[in-house]
Structure 1
């Protein structure tokens, strides 16, 4: 006879992993945390790259800070394209080597959140924040399953998961949090949340409490998801539009953070998922 513990082991939506942010994953994923957020930092990242964050404090604006960030990661992770005279000293294999970068990963997510780049991002969230994904190409339901095998293969694939990509994403997260604190530093009462929107179809299965038709409900989102800065933008992605108060500490990327085309949508915000209280409306 199957026990309750056996059932939990087969239900990934009930799984949580250890994390590097000092907040238990079940709490981090909860509506309680979203209502009362705490600042999050990935253990050891700022300490290991103290020089970068010291330099950022000397920047005059976000554009200058962005240039410092990009330049630092180019040096630290070998992301700079070799000059023509340098290629001659590299072997053919090294010349053709794909060096995974945070920018290529985000561009891959923008093209297809359920592709290999999306799997690596979901794997990073799982590793750093302990939040297990609930969807990748298909619902990640009972384990093992073909959907789980595909996710595990893609998140560990060498095309995107190389060149210390998790450490690059750690720095991106910390840079984003630094930028948001800097942007709100002059406010007398700094905002703890961002008012965002998310469009969705066939989302009944995401509802954990309440009903969509009643407008106010709780939905369970994947461990990392895209939001929009406006309801009109969100409505392009689904008939149902959720208005969400996303804790600032859960944001990985917001439009002003990275000038230039990185994500597909100019109004796209990338943030950690979990359970969210939302206001739903049908477009």
Structure 2
């Protein structure tokens, strides 16, 4: 895909062809440049996706009556099955029902766990872009100057019908709100506003936006959805560089123990919103 030379020159002059300067509108009431900044991570504020809890007020009324995390998990998963038709049909389904693929948050998370740069990953990154205004920086390749083949691939995959149907964004809205509710109600990862997490990486230099890797402490721009691990040893299996960060709870989407599923739990994986993070970096440790 190419643009007229005059328009391309205008984009370059204004910086609009550089996605590193892009931010989208969002549904959380906090400007995206602030939400994606290291300053927000140091002084986080609670995030609420507009309309998500109000549209499912009955769900959260039931959750407020729960006395344990296990009871809350059961109610949430049953609600999602009923509202989005995720339960397997009893008996023998009609042929049309068998052929129809219903996207679900569980299938999406499983797809992310297998390959964060496949279609499921694009849909999840597109959701974060839509809800929080954070533009992705990587999908199969760096998402740099627009337009480019990498951008075209991302734009195509984030709307793929295999994962992007059955109100998948609304499903992810409820997953995020449920995660936040569980973190504060049952303190799944302990008390406090931040969680110490680790990330293994092989491509660090291009992500540094402040400081230097040689200084061990630097600011890195991570993708708009990013995987961390609760375990330093596990994170070390995913790259030569080991990054340590204090991640705000308000940016967490999925944590071990949130759902009654084995998806992602084997790696103690945590999914978080990205942006600029101050990290401690070590090589080959």
- TM exceeding 0.5: yes
Alpha-carbon distance in structure 2 between the residues aligned to 1:266 and 1:235: 11
**Structure 2, unaligned runs of 5 or more:** 1-5
Partner of 1:15: 22
Q: 2:134: which partner in 1?
A: 131
Distance (whole Å) between structure 2 residues aligned to residue 131 and residue 163 of structure 1:
23
Label 1:160 to 1:4 Cα distance change in 2 as closer, same or farther (>3 A). Answer: closer
Q: Helix, strand or coil: the match of 2:169?
A: helix
Q: Does 1:68 align with 2:75?
A: yes
Alignment of 1:158-169 (within 5 A): 158-169=161-172
- State how far apart, in whole Å, the 1-side matches of 2:144 and 2:83 are: 38
User: What is the alpha-carbon root mean square deviation over aligned residues?
Assistant: 1.6
Number of aligned residue pairs:
276
Alignment map for 1:171-250 (pairs within 5 Å): 171-184=174-187, 190-250=191-251
Runs of 4+ in 1 over 2 A off after TM superposition: 1-7, 92-95
Q: Is the contact made by 2:11 and 2:17 (CA closer than 8 Å) also made in structure 1? A: no
Contact preservation (8 Å) 1:110, 1:264: no
Structure 1 stretch 258-267 or stretch 25-34: which is displaced more? 258-267
Q: Write the mapping of 1:38-49 to structure 2, written as runs, cut at 5 A.
A: 38-49=45-56
1:120 maps to which residue?
Answer: 123
Q: Does 1:94 find its partner at 2:101?
A: no
In structure 2, the partner of 1:51 is: 58
Q: Normalization by structure 2: what TM-score?
A: 0.93
- Residues 107 and 264 in structure 1, CA contact (< 8 A), matched pair in contact too: no
Consecutive unaligned residues in structure 1, runs of 5 or more: none
